[in-house]
Amino acid sequence: MISAEFFCAELDRRGFGFFSGVPCSFLKGPFALLEQRESYVPAPNEGIALSMAAGAELGGTKAAVLAQNSGLGNLLDPLTSLGMAYEIPVLLFVSLRGWPNAEDDEPHHAAMGAATIGVLESLGVAHGILEPAQESLGALLDRAERERARRRSFVVLVPADTVGTCAVPAPATEASMTRGEAVEALAGHLSGALVYSTTGMISRELFGVRDDPRNFYMQGSMGHAVGLGLGTALTHPRERVVVVDGDGAVVMHMGGLALVGERRPANLTHLVIDNGSYDSTGGQRTRERAMRWDELALAAGYRTGRICRTPKETDAHLAEIADQPGPHLVALIVGRGGATPPRVTSAHTNAEVRARFQAAAAEPAKGRR
Ligand SMILES: Cc1ncc(C[n+]2csc(CCOP(=O)(O)OP(=O)(O)O)c2C)c(N)n1
């Protein structure tokens, strides 16, 4: 195993001065160390991480991006149309979720796990697979330097158990509600609704608190729960649609908010569980300062926007807006971390989640508008 300290020291030794990315648990250690530096800027999505790195490079600062292979989809455009077209080299570390054996990982990583290396090959992007030994990192970074000299990017692919974690004390949070309490409070208001929940711990928490065929647990597709909700809300105006989102996921594809605010479906409620962090990948911070969700919602065009900080406030506000036309945005401020809820896939395959959701959605509902 390569220690996170060695990993970062090696990048320092080679003169890297700017870092960005979106976390993956395979790279938890380096993220924990980089987070403590001014030179690391957490990005809302991998494409922005890459374009920021390219901007740093254009100014003469060597830059590196750390990402999960699910994020390749977000960064391929700037990697090709910016990095390759303008010959701006960037060093990328991309984790290999779902590889080499798809069965060893969550099913939503299977397709990208199998395709990651082929995608890079078909684009002609130089890459190498990191092995859990310090010499391997040195050899790949030497190759990256040779590519850089030709003004080409290089991708270091990082399989599971290659880079170590490290203990960094989590910053204290001032929130007075846990994720579990927030989900319990909102779960009382989901009856009859079609519910889309976001990737990671939030879907798992909802599954643990209130499993229901009318819940669609969207693992993967980070940032796209609101798109699912909007598509259903617009095409099925008699259904009540609730999206249970995370702050990291919303910010990843924030354009969805603008579209909700523009189309204004009265039947859509967007709940954002804001813990200021990417809890599902190890609790890395999402933002330095809290988002003003209420103002953001109103500016985007939602009919109401509100921040709730306690289960009681959440319960009262959700009861209050239940019969008012939306779209509504409610941000629930919670603390980081919490107990690890069960995986949805311990009970249902993704295809089962989809099939039972579709069947339930087709039934005459009890609580429809
Ligand atoms: C495109 C993409 N990049 C990165 C990831 C890895 N990932 C899975 S869950 C998650 C964190 C989600 O954060 P948030 O929405 O704030 O919810 P939380 O985990 O804090 O509950 C990340 C970064 C991913 N699934 N997809």
Same domain, 114 and 240: no
Give the CATH number of the domain where residue 67 resides. 3.40.50.970
Quick one: average pLDDT of 315-344? 96
Is 70 exceeded by the pLDDT of residue 368? no
Same domain, 94 and 241: no
Same domain, 199 and 88: no
Residue 166 lies in a domain: no
Are residues 23 and 142 both part of a single domain?
Answer: yes
Structure tokens at 100: 């080499």
Query: How far is ligand 1, taken at its centre, from the CA of residue 45, in Å?
Result: 10
Q: What angle do CA 10, 79, 13 make, to 5 degrees?
A: 10
Nearest alpha-carbon partner for 152 in 94, 89, 92? 89
pLDDT category at 366 given cuts 50, 70, 90 is low
Could you tell me if 184 and 96 lie in one domain?
Answer: no
Could you identify the atom of ligand 1 that is nearest to the CA of residue 221? 26
Read off the amino acid at residue 314. Answer: T
Q: Give the pLDDT confidence score for residue 358 in this predicted structure.
A: 97
Provide the token pair at 211. Answer: 């499993």
Q: Please report the pLDDT score of residue 167 as a whole number.
A: 78
% residues pLDDT > 70 (the chain): 97
Is 348 a residue whose pLDDT tops 70? yes
| pLDDT value at residue 288 | 85
Atom of ligand 1 nearest to the CA of 283: 20
C-beta 278 within 6 A of ligand 1: yes
Shared-domain flag, residues 196 and 70? no
Cα three-residue angle 269-275-276, rounded to 5 degrees: 110
24 lines ligand 1 (CB under 6 A): yes
Shared domain for 40 and 184, answered yes or no, is: no
Q: Evaluate whether residue 281 is within a structural domain.
A: yes
- The range of the structural domain enclosing residue 128 comes to 4-158
For residue 173, tell me if it sits in a domain: no
Cβ–Cβ under 8 Å, residues 116 and 69: yes
Phi, psi of 62 (to 5 degrees): -70, 135
What mean pLDDT is predicted for residues 206-233?
98
- Contacts with 29 (C-beta within 8 Å, 6 or more apart), sequence order: 3, 4, 7, 163, 164, 165, 166
Do 191 and 147 have their domain in common?
A: no
The arithmetic mean of pLDDT across residues 318-329, rounded, is 97
The alpha carbon of 199 and the centre of ligand 1 are apart by a number of angstroms equal to 6
Ligand 1 center from residue 358 Cα (angstroms): 25
Going by C-alpha positions, the residue among 215, 244, 224, 246 that lies closest to residue 318 is 244
Q: Tell me how far the alpha carbon of residue 142 lies from the centroid of ligand 1, in angstroms.
A: 31
Q: Is the CB of 283 under 6 A from ligand 1?
A: no
Mean pLDDT of the chain: 96
Note the pLDDT tens digit of each residue in 165-174.
987 776 667 7
Q: Would residue 223 count as lying in a domain? A: yes
Q: CB of 189 within 8 A of CB of 322?
A: yes
Q: Which atom of ligand 1 is nearest to the CA of 275?
A: 20
